[in-house]
Chain A
């Protein structure tokens, strides 16, 4: 089935450690996105990529990094510079054209111990 997968579903990290969240899609979508969701809040954009080997910062990129080496994959690294990384992280993809709906993965819940 076509869709977006994120792994792991739950992730625990010690303070000071970097951690990488996986996002893979087989929808042949050009654009991919990372969002962060905090309790009682809407989603906020971290990074997005419209084509391979290119990506742009979103509204809250500080303390995060991404890569887009393949069309299907858009991993997000939460670095030790991110001061409050505990959150729910959602990956999405779309055809990349403006006003196309975004399809979301199941999310990764990151907890910093």
Chain B
């Protein structure tokens, strides 16, 4: 079975600083995908970034990058130059071959950006 672990229930960061949100996963599959989603207080889930297990380069999307360490089974999200609007809940999720693109989610990290 697949499992996602996010060990940081809450994080604080100052505006314009970078922050890393941790995510580790457990799977016996060789082929899988890793996703990060943002959930503002409104509740809607917003897709941020994707990393495939066979991708050699770390994924980047604007201010978001994914620090993928396959041997350690970690897929940490790095947000550069934090903005007040980045304050939200962040979820790491995984899909796997044969899973029909179903997602398994972690419990999330609440990020608060301060002035």
Q: How large is the interface on B (under 10, 10 to 19, 20 to 34, 35 or more residues)?
A: 20 to 34
Segment among A15-23, A62-70, A74-82, A97-105 that sits at the interface with chain B: A97-105
Q: Which of A44, A90, A97, A109 lies in contact with B101, CB distance below 8 A?
A: A97
Q: Is B68 an interface residue (CB 8 A)?
A: no
CA distance A31 to B33 in the complex (A): 17
CB-CB under 8 A from A97, the residues of chain B are 101
Flag if A50 contacts B100 (CB, 8 Å): yes
CA distance A103 to B45 in the complex (A): 8
Query: Which residues of A are at the interface with B, using a C-beta cutoff of 8 A?
Result: 31, 33, 40-45, 48, 50, 56, 58, 88, 90, 92, 94, 96-107, 109
Flag if A31 contacts B42 (CB, 8 Å): no
Shortest CB–CB separation between residue A53 and chain B, in angstroms?
16
Flag if A100 contacts B107 (CB, 8 Å): no
Q: Which of A43, A45, A94, A106 lies in contact with B44, CB distance below 8 A?
A: A106
| A42-B107 in contact given A98-B95, A103-B47 (Cβ < 8 Å) | yes
Flag if B91 contacts A42 (CB, 8 Å): yes
**Chain B, 33-44, contact with A by CB distance < 8 Å: what is the 0/1 string?**
101010000111
Give the 8 A-B residue pairs with the shortest CB-CB distance, closest first.
A42-B105, A99-B33, A104-B45, A101-B47, A107-B43, A43-B105, A42-B107, A106-B44
Flag if B102 contacts A58 (CB, 8 Å): yes
10 more CB-based (< 8 A) A-B contacts, given A42-B4, A42-B108: A33-B102, A33-B103, A42-B106, A43-B91, A58-B102, A90-B43, A94-B101, A98-B99, A100-B101, A104-B44
Residue on A nearest B4 in the bound complex, by CB? A42
| A96-B101 in contact given A42-B91, A88-B43 (Cβ < 8 Å) | yes
Flag if B106 contacts A48 (CB, 8 Å): no
Shortest CB–CB separation between residue A50 and chain B, in angstroms?
6
